[in-house]
Amino acid sequence: MEILWKVEELKKEYEIRTEFKKEKIIALKNINIEIFKGEVFGVVGESGSGKTTLGKVLIRLIEPDEGKIFYKNIEITKIPERFLRRYRKNFQIIFQDPYKSLNPRIRCGYAVMEGIDGNKKEKTEKAIEILNLVGIKKERFYDYPHQFSGGERQRIAIARALSTNPEFIVCDEPTSNLDVSVQGQILNLFIDLKEKFNLTYLFITHNLKILRFIADRIAVMFKGEIVELGRTEEILKNPSHPYTEKLLKSEI
């Protein structure tokens, strides 16, 4: 299998300054992972364990302190910011809260058109096509985000991510703000799109039920480190780290 991402010894610290003291919080350390093309790589962990930071560092929305990240054997961490744009269209991110990730003053169609190249007519056609793909009808092209429900907004966020023809998408808890019934629809959509475009996902969640359903391999994160890594079924069957056991126990 082709290795899409290779991460070596990644480290990221945040500095928290209060009036009296400086504190360092380790968000990521000793991260070594490989992500293969076409797989769903799940990341699970409690809040504050560095799941989101990992996703963001990978696509360089946050600069790492130490470590190397390779994207198809190109060292992403060494590329200067201005050349990085060339690669940026290959990897996208979908955030947790569709209420915050869409600009309330931009019509949904235009929001999708932003990422597409070409003249206006081509852009519009492509945007309609992508919106149709995620299940938003053509008639709603000129609607504003507030006119959509939560699930529909998440669909628009997915359409925006797809508009640049990416290879890799970071899904940062994309369903945790949604109803259970809508969650099912969005998960189905993720699988459909993956099969259609041969996408690779980094799927961040704290819900093991979803991981069991969607992820091929999972990494369990605890306090900034990956404490377990392997095939989903194996890890969930024989957890070795106490935190994984705790996670499994708290499943309802």
Partner 1 sequence: MCLTQKIGKMEEILIVENISVGNEELEILRDISFDVKKNEIISIVGESGCGKSMTLRTIIRLLPKNLKILNGDIIFEGMKLKDLKEKEMNRIRGKKIGMIFQEPSSYLNPLFTIGNQIEEAIEGNIKKREKKEMVIKILKEMGLPITTYYQYPHQLSGGMQQRAMIAIALINGPSLLLADEPTTALDVTTAFSIINLLKNLVTNHNLSILFVTHDISLANHISDRIIVMYGGTIVEIGKSKEIYENPLHPYTKKLIECLPQRYKKGERIKTIEGEVPFFKNLPAGCPFSQRCDYKMKICEEQKPGKIFFENRIVKCFKYGNIVES
Q: Does 96 contact partner 1 by CB under 8 A?
A: no
The residue count for binding partner 1 (CB under 8 A) is: 31
Give min distance, CB of 233 to partner 1, in A: 9
Q: From the list 47, 73, 119, 238, which residue makes contact with partner 1 (rule: CB under 8 A)?
A: 47
Give min distance, CB of 10 to partner 1, in A: 23
Residue with tokens 């946050």: 62
Give min distance, CB of 148 to partner 1, in A: 11
Q: Which residues pair with 47 in a beta bridge?
A: none
Nearest residue (CB) to partner 1, 101 versus 183: 183
* C-alpha radius of gyration, the chain, whole number: 19
CA angle 71, 37, 216 (to 5 degrees): 125
Give min distance, CB of 153 to partner 1, in A: 13
Q: Does 100 contact partner 1 by CB under 8 A?
A: no
Q: Which stretch binds partner 1 (CB under 8 A): 30-38, 45-53, 80-88, 135-143?
A: 45-53
Give min distance, CB of 90 to partner 1, in A: 26
d(CA 153, CA 165): 19
Strand 217-222 and strand 40-45: the pairing is parallel
Residue with tokens 């070409």: 118
Give min distance, CB of 206 to partner 1, in A: 5
- State the angle between helix axes of 180-197 and 150-162 in degrees (0 to 180), rounded to the nearest 10: 20
Q: Does 142 contact partner 1 by CB under 8 A?
A: no
- List, as one string, the DSSP characters of 102-149: S-TTS-HHHHHHTT--S-HHHHHHHHHHHHHHTT--GGGTT--GGGS-
Residue 91: which of 81, 105, 101, 76 has the closest Cα? Answer: 76
Nearest residue (CB) to partner 1, 79 versus 227: 227
Site for partner 1 in 153-212 (CB under 8 A): 179-185, 187-188, 191, 206-210, 212
Contacts with partner 1 by CB under 8 A lie at 46-48, 149-150, 179-185, 187-188, 191, 206-210, 212-214, 216, 232, 246-247, 249-252
